[in-house]
Structures are given as C-alpha cells and as structure tokens.
Chains A and B, each alone.
Chain A
Amino acid sequence: MRWTMVVMFLLLTGCNQHVSHGIDEETGLAYWQVEDGKISLRLVQRTPLQTQSFFLGRGFTRQQTETIAHGCVFQTIFKNISNESSSPVVLSYDLDQWVVHHDGKQPLKTREAWQQHWQEQGVAKAQQLAFNWALLPTRQEYRPGDYNWGMTAYDLAPGGEFDLTVRWQEAGQTREVIIHDLRCSTDIAQPNQEEES
C-alpha cells in the first residue's frame, strides 16, 4: 500500500526539473519547455500583433481579431519523442484537464469555446475553419514521432503572468507538471528583460 502511494505520488506530482525557460532564437520571444525523453512540450510567446496579423491574413476583420489579439496566446508544440524501437509509448492529453493559475483557477479557452464565440459573432465558415485548425487540438493522441503545432489561448491580458498545470496520459498513467511564471507577451518583445528574469 505504502509503495503504491509512493508510485502514485511520483506519477502525479510535478517534474519541474524537466522545465526549461529561455529566449527562442528564431523569434526573440520567451519560451517554456517540458521534456523528459517521451514528451516534448514547448510554449513560445506570440505577440498580439503577430496574432492579429495571422488572423487578418485568414480573412478576419480587424475588430474580430482584436478579441484574440488583445488576449494571451502561445505557439504550442506537443510531441511524442519516445523512441519507436527501444521504448515506444502512446501519449495523449485533454486541454480541458490543463489548469491556468491566475487569481484562482481557470480553464484554457479551447476550440469549442472559440467556435461558439465566433458563431455568436456571425463569423463566416471559412474563417471559423481557419481559426479551428490554427489552435492546438483540444484532445489528441500521439504515437512516436507524432506532433502538433498550434496556438493555445488564455483568458488573460498581454503581459499577464500565470502558472500552468499540464496533464497528459502516458501508457495509461496520468502525468502532471506545473510550469511556473509563464508570461503573456506584450506587443514589444523585450528580450533583455526576459533574459534578466
């Protein structure tokens, strides 16, 4: 019983030793990365201007883009990096199980919530499609080598800070890590400030 409790504790508690933080060399924006030999999760800041430009390019009006651009968005890459030949595992997640810690607990704003929002706003089907596929899937299952690249959106203002509880399933076991002090980008990237933090 005691050993079962210990194993459960190890599986469910944070693995912060695997979380790294730095400046993305390509974009000059901050990133946070979780990596443990099986999962690789990287969140890179997106500036409001980047996000607004992206959706203007997909046919949204400026007014429509402000809804998301004046929020908090990260480019997010979730990948199964387990080795197919030596230790293959299947990974899966459900974004509804991830928790944003900022003045209490909040959920992520997933595709389904956005779809309802855009439908209420009368946004055209083509724009809804582009938006849907630009976001990280709400639920996904990854075999070795599989990965997705998409935006995750948080109901916070630019510059806001939060902790993020990330949960995923690995060979049927729930794993969890807390990424501390994630920071939403503002419109002006401030790499020097990021490096000092």
Chain B
Amino acid sequence: MKFGRLGVLMLCSAALFNANAADNQTLPALDKPFMAPEFTTMSESGKSHSLSDYRGKLVILNFWASWCPPCRYEMPSMERLWQQVQGKPVVILAVNVGEDADTIFEFTGHYPVSFPLLLDQDGSIIDSYPVRGLPTTFIISPEGRVTHRIIGSREWDEAQLIGQLLELATPSR
C-alpha cells in the first residue's frame, strides 16, 4: 500500500468534507432491525474471531479498505473511541474487504489501531451484510440484532455519539 501525494490530498479532502459535516453526527436507526449474520475469520495478527464471541456486548462492525479515503479518515477517531470504552461492554470489529494481512499490517504503520482488524479477502462476510459502499458500519445490539447502519465516516469519539453508543450497550433497552 503506497500513500503518495494524491493519497494525502484525497485524505485532506475527506477531512475537510467530514469537518463540514461534523455538526451532523448521527447513528441512523434501521427501520427493520435484523439478526446479524454470523461469521468467523482471522485477524491481521492471526487470531480467530467469531461474531458470536461478542454476544452480550455492543458490537461496532465496520467494513473498510486501506485505499478508501473516508475509511482511513475515521480510523483515528475509532481508535480514540476504543480507548474511551475500555472496560465497557462495547467492541469494535473492523473488517477489511479484499486485502491481505501484509497490506493491513503496513496500514497499521500509518494508522496504529488496537481493536481487531479482520480479514475478508474473498468478500464473503461483506456479501452477507447489506453494504453498498465503503465505509459502512453496523451497530449490533448485545442480543445480536443489527439496529443501526452508518454509511460514510463519522467522528466516533464525539461525546454525543459515545453517549448514544453506551446507551445502546445497555441490555434489554
């Protein structure tokens, strides 16, 4: 993965675009929540993860790719969110679409994150979710239901958004 001048410029554009929309932070709720499709896959670091491992916690399931500017843009705020929810029943799973472990490892050199980065090299996981563009993020309730879908990046460590997430993390709302 190369971050050339154009990549930096595109990222700056993404940042500016997102900054303009920073006052429009929302977690759009789905009209029809559905049971989250189960999957098992490896992380970039070689550990196996199944979605069902996280039943009882709020799962923030993010689909991304290293070449996608809005995906890169939201990674640092997602990491800050991850740090702020340590000890809370919230987990972030970021599923990379179509790339290999080496590419993701190189990505983490530029964007250090400590939540699991999962592999979906053949696209089978993303195909099981209603995703049409990257990034797309789903909020999965502690009971395993997909309740919210976010298309495009967000400032994940914004206070109001964290408050919403923590409220959703409370079982049997």
| Contacts A126-B98, A133-B97, A137-B132 given; does A26 touch B12 at CB 8 Å | yes
Query: Which of B9, B67, B133 interacts with A130 by CB under 8 Å?
Result: B67
Contact B123 A129 (CB under 8 A): yes
Chain B residues near A61: list those with CB within 8 A. Answer: none
Contact B132 A139 (CB under 8 A): yes
Chain B residues near A146: list those with CB within 8 A. Answer: 28, 150-152
Contact A140 B26 (CB under 8 A): no
Contact A149 B151 (CB under 8 A): no
* A98 interfacial contact with B, CB 8 Å: no
Q: How far is the CA of A130 from the CA of B28 in the complex (A)?
A: 27
Q: How far is the CA of A145 from the CA of B17 in the complex (A)?
A: 11
Contact A143 B26 (CB under 8 A): yes
Query: Which of A27, A134, A148 interacts with B152 by CB under 8 Å?
Result: A148
Range class of the B interface residue count: 20 to 34
* A84 interfacial contact with B, CB 8 Å: yes
How does the 8 Å CB contact mask read for A143-183 relative to B, with 1 for contact and 0 for none? 11111111000000000000000000000000000000000
How does the 8 Å CB contact mask read for B53-86 relative to A, with 1 for contact and 0 for none? 0000000000001011110000000000000000
Contact B152 A133 (CB under 8 A): no
A-B contacts, CB under 8 A, total: 91
Q: How far is the CA of A77 from the CA of B4 in the complex (A)?
A: 21
* B134 interfacial contact with A, CB 8 Å: yes
Chain B residues near A139: list those with CB within 8 A. Answer: 132
Chain B residues near A114: list those with CB within 8 A. Answer: none
Contact A140 B133 (CB under 8 A): yes
Chain A residues near B98: list those with CB within 8 A. Answer: 126, 129-130, 133
| Contacts A133-B98, A143-B28 given; does A26 touch B67 at CB 8 Å | no
- Mind listing 7 A-B residue pairs with CB under 8 Å? A27-B9, A57-B67, A140-B132, A140-B151, A143-B151, A144-B26, A145-B26
Q: Could you list 6 further interchain pairs (A-B, Cβ under 8 angstroms) beyond the known A26-B12, A145-B25, A145-B152?
A: A84-B24, A133-B97, A137-B133, A148-B151, A149-B17, A149-B133
Residues of B within 8 A of A (CB): 1-2, 4, 6, 9-10, 12-14, 16-17, 21, 24-26, 28, 65, 67-70, 97-98, 121-123, 132-134, 150-152, 154
